[in-house]
Amino acid sequence: MKISIQSVGDLGYVVRASRKAQNVRLDDVAGSAQLSTVFVGDAERGKDSIQLGKMLRLMHELGIRMTVEVPDSTQPYWEKIKAQGIRPARKRPAGKPASIQEKKSE
């Protein structure tokens, strides 16, 4: 079944419906996905500031796959970028603001 997602709320509905269809408690899926119950509740309610990486982990745990539709003109750029890879973002110590030099390079 394919469902069109137009908002974080729509994605939350899909997550909740999938969890309930599998008869899994919220705290159980949170534990198995190594997420907090607060996060899972927020995700199911469609909180706008949800972290995508965690949402993807939750979706994977529930067997939900996500694909995106892009214009055909995107394919050659996508292939080139994927082949080159993307450098991971450098992590700064918590609480340390970016230096002027780091801000210029971004």
pLDDT of residue 63: 96
Output the pTM of the full model. Answer: 0.75
Structure tokens at 32: 């198995």
> How crowded is residue 43: how many other Cβ atoms within 10 Å of its Cβ?
23
pLDDT of residue 30: 97
- Write down the residue that tokens 């230096």 correspond to: 99
Structure tokens at 12: 């939350």
CATH of domain 1-86: 1.10.260.40
| Contact call for residues 30 and 39 (beta carbons, < 8 A) | yes
Query: What does the alpha-carbon distance between residue 70 and residue 89 come to, in Å, rounded to a whole number?
Result: 25
List the pLDDT tens digit at each of the 106 positions of the chain. 899 999 999 999 999 999 999 999 999 999 999 999 999 999 999 999 999 999 999 999 999 999 999 999 999 999 999 998 877 777 777 666 665 555 555 5
- Residue count of the chain: 106
pLDDT of residue 104: 53
| Contact call for residues 19 and 62 (beta carbons, < 8 A) | yes
